[in-house]
Structure 1
């Protein structure tokens, strides 16, 4: 089926005595097909809807799993069962070069089936005439050995502009910049390097040519493929800042006579460069992009290549002796997917959840025993990538009250059977119990309190030998279901310090109902003022005030850590 003009729509008008011909029935089918296909294209776009994964089944063959897609003319492509084929048997594959990247494509296809005798034609022709009774809507798999022009991909220029910096049979370098930015805005330029696996080690160095843009890390752009690199694609981000003047056009590209694109020791000659263009707007970028989309003509919205297809996979080949083998398969290399409304809703929910939890702080503490006589240690570290604040406390063996500003002890908190149970929204019964005020003996001022759940055996002989003592640091529920599961109730531990009184209080929240008893909590209190300089170490926090300050800075407003 060639590229067709779907509109204006025209349907049959029926009346009594109308003579129906082949043209009428074909017009009936075309009316409904064209309407559906135009709505597919305008409402859903084009690309893979589900399935169609490409898997290498051996060194020379691939399998396309069952799935569905919509092409750029809105036609449905359905693969009802897995299809396995050798690359060498596919249309478009040539054996003239084995170390290369090839692209497996799928396209809509129609096949005639059910040949029958054409009775009407026999009246005008003496020989026997056959025709086909059905048209099977099918698909065609084939190989393309060159990457597509970035501008030919669906919605390629809606939000970004991609220019080809260099391209040959082994290497392609692309530069992508946003179409619109605001004055003074920081934005990223993406350099994408595509290469065959055995082409050699790639390096690229040049001076940035830009008008009304500024590189934040200097005007020299340099990329060097890792020594042990075994990838066929690399990306490099370059941070730029737009000019403060609105309503003007900025350009960015490669400055002439400064580029050095190398494959091992071989230099590649770059052609005359196309510059990427960026509009600097005083209005909202999102509003402008949406305006561009809704104002484009119907012809532009339905524009499609003369031979539409979907790139299902990039297949990296390497040469082994006189033949080739499949090294790797990359699924849908140009992101041609169709997301239905249910998927988009789920993704928006997940994105909103990530935004809500992005600022939450995770705290972890760890206590270790040092050799007798060693100074105590306190290390506080914050990892912004995972929003984790870790506190590591090292205590010399033998403990002792007030040794280098550290004291230790324990408290037994009585647990009573639940009388009034507070049920959480998830249906779990919880109740909190608290100790009395505990004097830590370090005087007034801020102290750091670290707690752990301590478990002792109910057997008196084991207790005397201390052979069955276990101290759980952090969340003890991680051991649930294992041989290390604690016998004590599942609890959460919290502390309240009273700096002016030199005391603190420990509270536990019991996660399940049980028999009456005690929960033993081991505690350590640390005072930097009493410790003096003995706890100072390179890269460590040497005062409790600094530790608390680090916690406050790391914690989001209103969090427990604050």
Structure 2
């Protein structure tokens, strides 16, 4: 089948006495082949059906196992027996630098078999001629040393918007994000860095401008990638998330300006000379329905022949330079996921609920401690490929208090004495007992601690700055810069456990010029378990973090 076009179909019509020629027999074969291949192409797609694993036998040799594939024109490719070849002997391998990734492809190929004498041709030409008696539907293995464009795959441009930030012989940096999104969706943007094994470490930092999207995460609109120093991979992926704004019917754009982008390969900074931008349609229609709509609205020519020049990639082979030669470092099978799944298997997997349903989400969470008094933190990343949310929650540590506490003040006016000019308590002169004070901790035993509060300015409001509180004997600070202007007072407390209140008793050791004494008290009630306080703190942190995320 030399031509890609497989339609319209024309079938032989037989009748008695019909003269059958080569054209009729060829038409008979072409009719059935073309129809089967068209259905293969449209119903099943292209890729590996079974087998065809690529295995490195030694440093320079690979084996392709038995298997079946369907190419982009619907033709069946059958590898009927394992084939072992030196990489340098495969068509297309001209790698003199020995530092690249090479890509092994399989293609459909017809080969003539069984040459026989052609009686008809010899009568016409006069000399003996031969023709092949059979065609062997075979295959051809070949190597490409350049990575295929992500848009060269049929489904790539249908579901994702793919842009290339930079590409040369050793490094390619691309970025992908969904082509369609609904308002309010959290979508992943995936940065892909592909490199050869010998290329120095790659680092990339940029800031993006978003129109129709809100940045998520601590870094805002900044993205940084640094190749790990302890790895030797040829591909790295970094994902960050954006939230789609409520702007249905518009096109969202995510733009990377070369002036705000820094790309380093080793110590060399690579200049970027063009602005790249993603375009995402913000739609109210379910994304899956819109993708299927685009798929079904393809023309027949595009559906049947649009990728006719593309073949199935079986492996990406990483090569490592060893002096003047090379060795196979690693083999990645079917690197672009060109597989054809079995329909009955997919049905059973779907029925058993092992695939992510569109209306079911999964959550993965991780909590970490923050210092007491810090604001709670919430970072959410959505992974659409598995319908999963990744929550990272920072919770401030609770106070290490196992008691309930309440506090308050009591102001006690002093009465001036006529003879001495000094002031004492208005009743009982040197002794004073307050009225019942409700501590607010309910019934039960409490501990009350009492101190004398000093306010420099008598007219200052309660709780104003500059106040000091003295516990115990204040005369221990005498003759120091912290000496109190208040008299030395002895305190006592009387607790009423069943009434939930207490009294404060005071004894004044001498007179004072102050007209008002302010007594500060703290009431402590021991809890059987302090977990209520901790749970309450976590609940408040969660509520505040959720409000921040909204």
Q: Identify if the C-alpha distance between structure 1 residues 343 and 154 changes in structure 2 by more than 3 Å, giving closer, same or farther.
A: farther
CA distance, structure 2, for counterparts of residue 202 and residue 152 of structure 1: 25
Quote the residue 2:17 is aligned against: 17
Report the 3-state secondary structure (helix = DSSP H, G, I; strand = E; otherwise coil) of the residue aligned with 2:351: helix
- C-alpha distance after superposition, 1:474-496 (max 9, x if no partner): xxxxxxxxxxxxxxxxxxxxxxx
How far residue 545 of structure 1 moved from its aligned partner, in angstroms, is: 9.7
Alignment of 1:426-465 (within 5 A): none
Quote the residue 2:140 is aligned against: 140
- Residue number among 332, 335, 345 corresponding to 1:333 in the alignment: 335
Quote the residue 2:49 is aligned against: 49
CA distance, structure 2, for counterparts of residue 275 and residue 332 of structure 1: 29
Q: Point out where structure 2 has 5 or more consecutive residues left out of the alignment.
A: 365-387, 391-524, 543-550
The 8 Å contact of residues 166 and 271 in structure 1, kept in 2 or not, is answered as: no
- The reply on whether 1:296 has 2:298 as its aligned counterpart is yes
CA distance, structure 2, for counterparts of residue 319 and residue 340 of structure 1: 40
CA distance, structure 1, for counterparts of residue 251 and residue 230 of structure 2: 41
How far residue 357 of structure 1 moved from its aligned partner, in angstroms, is: 12
How far residue 29 of structure 1 moved from its aligned partner, in angstroms, is: 0.4
The 8 Å contact of residues 73 and 304 in structure 1, kept in 2 or not, is answered as: no
Quote the residue 2:233 is aligned against: 231
Q: In terms of mean alpha carbon deviation, does 329-338 or 210-219 score higher?
A: 210-219
- C-alpha distance after superposition, 1:78-129 (max 9, x if no partner): 1111111011001110132101100000000000010000001111112110
Quote the residue 1:111 is aligned against: 111
**Aligned-residue CA RMSD (Å):** 2.8
How far residue 271 of structure 1 moved from its aligned partner, in angstroms, is: 4.0
CA distance, structure 2, for counterparts of residue 175 and residue 258 of structure 1: 16
Quote the residue 2:101 is aligned against: 101
- Residue number among 255, 262, 265 corresponding to 1:263 in the alignment: 265
CA distance, structure 2, for counterparts of residue 30 and residue 208 of structure 1: 54
How far residue 352 of structure 1 moved from its aligned partner, in angstroms, is: 4.3
How far residue 333 of structure 1 moved from its aligned partner, in angstroms, is: 0.7
How far residue 358 of structure 1 moved from its aligned partner, in angstroms, is: 9.0
Quote the residue 1:67 is aligned against: 67
- The reply on whether 1:276 has 2:283 as its aligned counterpart is no
Report the 3-state secondary structure (helix = DSSP H, G, I; strand = E; otherwise coil) of the residue aligned with 2:157: coil
- C-alpha distance after superposition, 1:353-386 (max 9, x if no partner): 887999899xxxxxxxxxxxxxxxxxxxxxx999
Q: In terms of mean alpha carbon deviation, does 118-127 or 133-142 score higher?
A: 118-127
Q: Identify if the C-alpha distance between structure 1 residues 74 and 282 changes in structure 2 by more than 3 Å, giving closer, same or farther.
A: same
How far residue 351 of structure 1 moved from its aligned partner, in angstroms, is: 3.5
- Give the paired residue count: 380
TM-score (ref. length: structure 2): 0.65
CA distance, structure 1, for counterparts of residue 81 and residue 281 of structure 2: 47
Report the 3-state secondary structure (helix = DSSP H, G, I; strand = E; otherwise coil) of the residue aligned with 2:337: coil
How far residue 544 of structure 1 moved from its aligned partner, in angstroms, is: 12
The 8 Å contact of residues 202 and 262 in structure 1, kept in 2 or not, is answered as: yes
CA distance, structure 1, for counterparts of residue 63 and residue 319 of structure 2: 16
- C-alpha distance after superposition, 1:456-501 (max 9, x if no partner): xxxxxxxxxxxxxxxxxxxxxxxxxxxxxxxxxxxxxxxxxxxxxx
How far residue 209 of structure 1 moved from its aligned partner, in angstroms, is: 2.9
Q: In terms of mean alpha carbon deviation, does 265-274 or 317-326 score higher?
A: 265-274
Q: Identify if the C-alpha distance between structure 1 residues 118 and 345 changes in structure 2 by more than 3 Å, giving closer, same or farther.
A: same
Quote the residue 2:256 is aligned against: 254
The 8 Å contact of residues 3 and 306 in structure 1, kept in 2 or not, is answered as: no
CA distance, structure 2, for counterparts of residue 145 and residue 287 of structure 1: 37
CA distance, structure 2, for counterparts of residue 275 and residue 385 of structure 1: 26
- C-alpha distance after superposition, 1:212-263 (max 9, x if no partner): 2222131111111111121111111110112211101112231131111111
Q: Identify if the C-alpha distance between structure 1 residues 213 and 318 changes in structure 2 by more than 3 Å, giving closer, same or farther.
A: same
The 8 Å contact of residues 196 and 232 in structure 1, kept in 2 or not, is answered as: yes
- C-alpha distance after superposition, 1:181-209 (max 9, x if no partner): 11232111111111111101111111113
Quote the residue 1:150 is aligned against: 150
Quote the residue 1:484 is aligned against: none
How far residue 283 of structure 1 moved from its aligned partner, in angstroms, is: 2.1
Q: Point out where structure 1 has 5 or more consecutive residues left out of the alignment.
A: 362-383, 387-528, 537-541, 554-562
Q: Identify if the C-alpha distance between structure 1 residues 80 and 276 changes in structure 2 by more than 3 Å, giving closer, same or farther.
A: same
Quote the residue 1:206 is aligned against: 206
- C-alpha distance after superposition, 1:506-560 (max 9, x if no partner): xxxxxxxxxxxxxxxxxxxxxxx99957xx8xxxxx579959x99xx9xxxxxxx
The 8 Å contact of residues 154 and 336 in structure 1, kept in 2 or not, is answered as: no
How far residue 304 of structure 1 moved from its aligned partner, in angstroms, is: 3.6
Q: Identify if the C-alpha distance between structure 1 residues 30 and 357 changes in structure 2 by more than 3 Å, giving closer, same or farther.
A: closer
TM-score (ref. length: structure 1): 0.63
The 8 Å contact of residues 121 and 129 in structure 1, kept in 2 or not, is answered as: yes
CA distance, structure 2, for counterparts of residue 18 and residue 530 of structure 1: 109
Report the 3-state secondary structure (helix = DSSP H, G, I; strand = E; otherwise coil) of the residue aligned with 2:39: helix
